[in-house]
Amino acid sequence: MRNLVQSLFLALVVYLVASLLTGSWLAGIAPALIGGGILYFVLARRSFKAFEAIANEAMAQLQTAQGDPSQVERAKETLRGALALGKDQFLITEQVNGQLGQLAYSQGRFDEARGHLEQAWSRDWMSQCTLAALDHRQKKAPEALARLEKAKSGGDGQAIFWAVYAFIAKDSGDVKLALAVLGQGVEKAGGSAALKGWQEALANQRSLDLMAFAPQWFQFFPEHVQRLTREQQILLLQSAGQPVPPQLQRPAPSAPAAPSPNRAARRAAESGKPAPSIPHPRR
């Protein structure tokens, strides 16, 4: 906001000076627009570069977090420092809220996440997908679908956007809408092979391959990790650069083989008589 005010003030000054020097009120319009436009461009660029530096710092903190909640909180605090820049430039506050909401959602803090995500930019498809996933989680499918419909212009080139949209439609019972959404997604997202695979699976009433959109899918639906096989979970963790926990490293214990019957038991089974019991050792 302050960037715009300063630019308008400069434009007004330039207009007045140019009009007085030329004696024509029309002559001041072009210099005012040029001067104000240049100043706004310079100030906006400076604000966004400052925001980018803060966002990169927060990202670096997240990359070293390795699941440490305190590091995630540190990254969130770093991002909050960018809120001050929102007083200077439009859309920065909305982008900060979007990122804070996504982090809170990943922590399972859904009330906190909603508070931020509802203030995010409507064209920020990542934030809108996260908010739609939260609506779906809280049994608000109509709200989720309406939200995704409005966000199409921001996420139309992203295959994962169409996958989230189609999944929520299918899970709410509207398979026809899900197929229509997948058709749009294939067209808009460059003929995505993953979307085509989902389209075919859904048309033939087969289960959807969640790994087709891994690891991004599990940012929106982390609970779906439990649907994966052990090998898929290991692959997912490795692709995200996260350590594989010991319980996944060890193969599941196989059931012990049944002992083979001894000769007396086999004879008893063949004759239909009970097998002789094994006496306990005497003390």
Tokens of 182: 């997948």
Distance, in Å, from the CA atom of 283 to the CA atom of 277, rounded to the nearest integer, reads: 18
| Position 69 pLDDT exceeds 90 | no
Can you give the pLDDT at residue 184?
95
| pLDDT tens for each residue of 155-201 | 989 999 999 999 999 999 999 999 999 999 999 999 999 999 999 99
Q: Is the distance from CB of 159 to CB of 191 less than 8 angstroms?
A: no
Q: pLDDT above 70 covers what percent of the chain?
A: 81
Residue 239 confidence class, pLDDT cut points 50, 70, 90 = low
| pLDDT tens for each residue of 264-281 | 444 544 444 444 443 444
pTM score of the predicted model: 0.79
Cβ neighbourhood burial of 115 (10 Å; 0-12, 13-18, 19+): middle
Return the axis-axis angle of helices 159-171 and 175-188, rounded to nearest 10°: 170
| pLDDT tens for each residue of 85-101 | 999 998 999 999 999 99
Can you give the pLDDT at residue 264?
47
Residue 35 confidence class, pLDDT cut points 50, 70, 90 = very high
